[in-house]
Amino acid sequence: MSNIPLKQSGVRWLWLAIVIFFADIGIKLFVMDNMGYGWANRIEVLPFFNLLYVHNYGAAFSFLSDQAGWQRWLFTGIAFVVTALLTYWMSKLPAKEKWNNIAYAMIIGGAVGNVFDRVVHGFVVDYLDFFWGNYHWPAFNLADTTICIGAAMIILDGFRRKEDAAA
Catalytically annotated residues: 126, 144
- CA-CA distance, 151 to 156, in Å (whole number)? 9
What is the crossing angle of helices 98-121 and 70-92, to 10°?
A: 150
Please, which residues have CB within 8 angstroms of residue 120's CB and are 6 or more apart in sequence? none
Nearest CA among 101, 81, 78, 73 for reference residue 89: 101
Nearest CA among 62, 66, 78 for reference residue 141: 62
- CA-CA distance, 21 to 11, in Å (whole number)? 16
3-state SS class at 64: coil
The dihedral region occupied by 2, where left means phi > 0, alpha psi between -120 and 50, and beta the remainder, is beta
